[in-house]
Chains A and B, each alone.
Chain A
Amino acid sequence: MMPEITVVSGKGGTGKTSVTAAFAKLAGRAIVCDLDVDAADLHILLQPQIIDTHDFYAGQTAVLDPDACTQCRACESYCRFDAIVATAQEITFDPSRCEGCGICAHFCPFGAIEMRPRLSGRWFRSHAATGAMLHGELHPGQENSGLLVTRLREEAHAAFRAGSFDYIIADGPPGIGCPVIGAVTGTGFVVAVTEPTVSGVHDLLRVAALCEHFRLPTGVVLNKADLDLPLAGFVETFCAERGYPLLARIPYLPAVVQALTEGRTMDEVDEGGVADSVHSAWETVAAQFKSSSEAIQQVE
């Protein structure tokens, strides 16, 4: 199994990126990936130097040739996405609604519609202080974030096989939909970062259900752990019952935000034992892979 660690949360703003950046520093020889291609933030903390930039094409988009169009409106009747708006004067295509199915082009009696590859974003191969980094950005309004996530992971896996790295550490997107499924499928270990708030707990249950469906080994980081003790207790009980290791309890301190503002990561924050919590969380995560490789060696 690839020693790949993916940090998710369900709810946004629980501290995924902060935890990922700290793990990246502690992991030694690691490839770091920012899979939150909708709102990538990891580069703010890790300040990578971009080595090369690649255009990312995903799917297609329908383009109308107005000279060949006879305004018959067949395309409008086939489109299920309301991407084609026909008025008495003209037919216009809305690229933000077009899903690239190509049915309009297939059925246009005059061959007036062409399907063109859609430039959806860019991705970067970079070098950060922590080592190799892969990250990307989707152009505003694009779909296909899941495909860019998959592309970044393929690049990370190829780099891992080619180089001498010990881990892949990925900052996942919020939510539980397409980009999250793309980020966690087949990963080695999921770290779910949560907080003791009603929303944080609610969304932890949803992301945990997703991980269970895909049978992914999962651990939990309880961030802002002292914000509400009963809710924190609920998370602890939940982890114990489901067998999720509770990797860390990180206190809610303005000093953590202050450090991030100055470009320092959680492993450098001594107040409230933050650095110690993050260190021991990383030790527990790393041990998951040691124990599985030892088990494989014993079998062999």
Chain B
Amino acid sequence: MIVAIASGKGGTGKTTIAAALARTWDAPRIAVDMDVEAPNLHLLLSPTIEGEEEATLDVPVVVEPENCDGCGACSDICAFKAILVLRGKPAIFTELCHGCDGCLQVCLRGVLGRGKRDLGTVSWGRANAADRASSDLRMVSGRMRICENTCPPLIRHVRTRLDAMLRERQADVIIDAPPGTNCPALTALRDIDVLLLVTEPTPFGLHDLDLAVRAFQSDRVPAAVVINRAGLGDDELIRAYCRRGGLPVVAEIPYRRDLAERCARGEPLEAMGADLRERIAALAGSVRALAHRSVAA
């Protein structure tokens, strides 16, 4: 079972909820940080890193400049303006390359070869669970290189690593997705079973929840909503929206100053009293029930 925690708006509490679910989940699980631009899940799960790899994208490099006759085919085929032919020789702007391989395919003189662009790192390891008896909590996360432009290729690397870990040992998966409603978030939400959308009861929260619902809604993947900071604004706005759209509200995390302070320090949400522990447990139950619907469909 793969559950992804997403939201249109940033800062609604995705990572806090993902960490609490991951720590308390009562079966082997892997927590995955796919918010590679601003990865924060490791701050809450403090994993022991067991492995790390550089993630790269295949990009062209000039290997045999003497062979170039300046025909310009490589530049003509590039839709991303990543190659210019200057004074009869190709100049490659690696940062603009999407890795489509077109230039390598059309160069008949062997001028270009395959090089790598560094996208960032993928690391994995083991984290501490809330309950010692169920300590099978693994983690994998991506971390984009500063100044790298495009994050979906790195998210795909994280997914590849996740799939390898699942082949090694079966587990449930809890994904912390990037904010927004476009390519990074959609890449993270590919091939999932349950979607949890975290929102807050403010006009921003409602507006971006609606964007997320419109972008992500699918007949295949059951979705549900978590209202974080309930009581801070007008909760009924969110509840009414969810009722209209047939979206179950599966948890409400109350707004309290002391909770906000403890979350700021990175303390586990489920450790902030019996009430919260129960709410997280009930949320986990709802996620399982939704996953069952997904499998049944």
A binding-site residues for B, Cβ under 8 Å: 10-14, 17, 38-39, 41, 44, 59-60, 78, 80-81, 96, 99-103, 106-107, 138, 140-143, 145-146, 173-178, 180-181, 195-200, 202-203, 206, 209-210, 213, 224, 227-228, 231, 252, 254, 257-258, 260-261
Determine whether the beta carbon of B261 is less than 8 Å from that of A228: yes
State in angstroms the CA–CA spacing of A11 and B43 once bound together.
Answer: 13
Q: Are A12 and B10 CB-contacts (below 8 A) given A99-B100, A106-B77, A198-B40?
A: yes
Measured between C-beta atoms, what is the minimum distance from B41 to chain A in Å? Answer: 9
Determine whether the beta carbon of B181 is less than 8 Å from that of A13: no
Name A174's contact: one of B10, B77, B234 (CB within 8 Å): B10
> B75 contacts the other chain (Cβ, under 8 Å)?
no
* 29 cross-chain CB contacts under 8 A: A12-B12, A13-B10, A13-B11, A39-B181, A39-B208, A78-B101, A78-B105, A102-B77, A103-B102, A138-B182, A140-B211, A140-B216, A141-B181, A142-B183, A143-B152, A176-B144, A176-B146, A177-B184, A197-B266, A198-B40, A199-B43, A202-B40, A228-B261, A228-B264, A254-B232, A257-B202, A257-B232, A260-B202, A261-B202
> B115 contacts the other chain (Cβ, under 8 Å)?
no
* Least CB separation from A209: chain B residue: B146
Q: Mark B154-178, 1 if CB is under 8 A from A, else 0.
A: 0000000000000000000000001
Measured between C-beta atoms, what is the minimum distance from A110 to chain B in Å? Answer: 18
Determine whether the beta carbon of A177 is less than 8 Å from that of B146: no
Determine whether the beta carbon of A13 is less than 8 Å from that of B151: no
Determine whether the beta carbon of B10 is less than 8 Å from that of A261: no
* Least CB separation from B78: chain A residue: A101
Question: Within 8 Å CB of B27, what residues of A?
Answer: none
* Least CB separation from B44: chain A residue: A198
Question: Within 8 Å CB of B44, what residues of A?
Answer: 198
Question: Within 8 Å CB of B102, what residues of A?
Answer: 101-103, 106
* Least CB separation from B98: chain A residue: A99
> B254 contacts the other chain (Cβ, under 8 Å)?
no
> B148 contacts the other chain (Cβ, under 8 Å)?
yes
Determine whether the beta carbon of B182 is less than 8 Å from that of A177: no
Name A141's contact: one of B106, B215, B233 (CB within 8 Å): B215
Determine whether the beta carbon of B9 is less than 8 Å from that of A39: yes
Determine whether the beta carbon of B11 is less than 8 Å from that of A177: no
Determine whether the beta carbon of B186 is less than 8 Å from that of A10: no
Measured between C-beta atoms, what is the minimum distance from B55 to chain A in Å? Answer: 14
* Least CB separation from B148: chain A residue: A177
Name A197's contact: one of B12, B147, B264 (CB within 8 Å): B264
Question: Within 8 Å CB of B182, what residues of A?
Answer: 38, 138, 140-143, 145
Known: A39-B179, A181-B149. 15 other contacts (CB 8 A): A10-B38, A11-B10, A11-B40, A39-B9, A39-B180, A39-B181, A39-B211, A41-B208, A141-B181, A174-B37, A174-B179, A175-B184, A199-B40, A231-B264, A261-B202
State in angstroms the CA–CA spacing of A199 and B40 once bound together.
Answer: 6
Measured between C-beta atoms, what is the minimum distance from A229 to chain B in Å? Answer: 10
B binding-site residues for A, Cβ under 8 Å: 8-12, 15, 37-38, 40, 43-44, 77, 79-80, 98-102, 105-106, 144, 146-152, 178-184, 186, 202-204, 207-208, 211, 214-216, 232-234, 255, 257, 260-261, 263-266
Question: Within 8 Å CB of A197, what residues of B?
Answer: 263-266
Interface of B is mostly: loop
* Least CB separation from A138: chain B residue: B182
* Least CB separation from A232: chain B residue: B264
State in angstroms the CA–CA spacing of A258 and B144 once bound together.
Answer: 36
Q: Are A103 and B105 CB-contacts (below 8 A) given A44-B207, A202-B43?
A: yes
State in angstroms the CA–CA spacing of A252 and B229 once bound together.
Answer: 14
Measured between C-beta atoms, what is the minimum distance from B255 to chain A in Å? Answer: 8
Question: Within 8 Å CB of B204, what residues of A?
Answer: 17, 41, 44, 260
Measured between C-beta atoms, what is the minimum distance from A235 to chain B in Å? Answer: 12
Determine whether the beta carbon of B79 is less than 8 Å from that of A60: yes
* Least CB separation from A252: chain B residue: B260
State in angstroms the CA–CA spacing of A202 and B43 once bound together.
Answer: 9
Q: Are A143 and B183 CB-contacts (below 8 A) given A198-B43, A252-B260?
A: yes
State in angstroms the CA–CA spacing of A81 and B150 once bound together.
Answer: 14
Question: Within 8 Å CB of B37, what residues of A?
Answer: 10, 174-177, 180, 206
Question: Within 8 Å CB of B183, what residues of A?
Answer: 141-143, 145
Measured between C-beta atoms, what is the minimum distance from B150 to chain A in Å? Answer: 6
Question: Within 8 Å CB of B100, what residues of A?
Answer: 80-81, 99, 101, 103
* Least CB separation from A41: chain B residue: B204
Determine whether the beta carbon of B101 is less than 8 Å from that of A80: yes
State in angstroms the CA–CA spacing of A13 and B37 once bound together.
Answer: 15
* Least CB separation from B42: chain A residue: A202
Measured between C-beta atoms, what is the minimum distance from B19 to chain A in Å? Answer: 11
Question: Within 8 Å CB of B214, what residues of A?
Answer: 140
